[in-house]
């Protein structure tokens, strides 16, 4: 909490969750033991952490818990050992803008629809990515959350983060992990 004291906001994620979602929280929100607080207030970092590149890393570097074997974010390995890209100023600006759009979109849709949860939005997002048919309830979530726009922001963010690494946007998960491990070893 001392690290958060001088920040207007910070990045947070739930320790154990089906979907790894990072949000920007106001400094007035005090994290408890179930919330991972990252003392960074820049949407650039929110964008990087919200990318599929970081998502793949967290699944490989983290742990699993519970009946559903939900992924757990382990700050030391999921964040502490993550090899962030070294972007150009333009790349960092693009990622920052997309991180801000991502956070604003989700908050705006939830403010308009108080019953809309991030979990529901991301369940629908994953079905859209997979090309699966949505149920009636999922179509309602899609409409309330404008999940197609959320997916578009994530796709643009993933491409921008890949570009910051100097990688093609369509690398498969295994190759992304190989490259991250190699980059981590090089920097260590």
Give the residue, 128 or 73, on which the prediction is more confident.
128
Residue 67 pLDDT: 65
Give the residue, 3 or 149, on which the prediction is more confident.
149
- State the CB neighbour count (10 A cutoff) for residue 182: 11
Give the residue, 69 or 145, on which the prediction is more confident.
145
| Whole-angstrom distance, CA of residue 165 vs CA of residue 79 | 17
∠123-126-65 over CA atoms, to 5°? 65
Residue 147 pLDDT: 98
64: Cα separation from own chain's centroid: 18
The pLDDT of residue 66 is above 70:
no
Q: What is the pLDDT of residues 153-174, one digit of tens each?
A: 999 999 999 999 999 999 999 9
Helix, strand, or coil here: 50?
Answer: coil
The pLDDT of residue 33 is above 80:
yes
């Amino acid at each position: 909490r001392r690290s958060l004291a001088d920040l207007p906001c910070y990045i947070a994620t739930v320790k154990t969750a089906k979907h790894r979602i990072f949000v920007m929280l106001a400094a007035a929100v005090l994290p408890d033991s179930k919330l991972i607080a990252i003392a960074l207030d820049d949407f650039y970092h929110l964008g990087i952490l919200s990318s599929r590149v970081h998502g793949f890393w967290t699944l490989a570097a983290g742990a699993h818990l519970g009946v559903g074997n939900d992924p757990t974010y382990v700050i030391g390995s999921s964040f502490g050992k993550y090899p962030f890209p070294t972007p150009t100023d333009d790349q960092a600006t693009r990622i920052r803008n997309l991180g801000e759009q991502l956070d604003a979109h989700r908050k705006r849709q939830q403010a308009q629809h108080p019953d809309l949860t991030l979990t529901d939005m991301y369940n629908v997002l994953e079905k859209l990515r997979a090309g699966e048919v949505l149920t009636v309830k999922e179509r309602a979530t899609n409409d309330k959350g404008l999940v197609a726009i959320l997916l578009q922001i994530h796709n643009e963010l993933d491409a921008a983060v890949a570009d910051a690494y100097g990688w093609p946007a369509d690398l498969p998960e295994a190759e992304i992990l190989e490259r991250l491990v190699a980059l981590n070893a090089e920097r260590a």
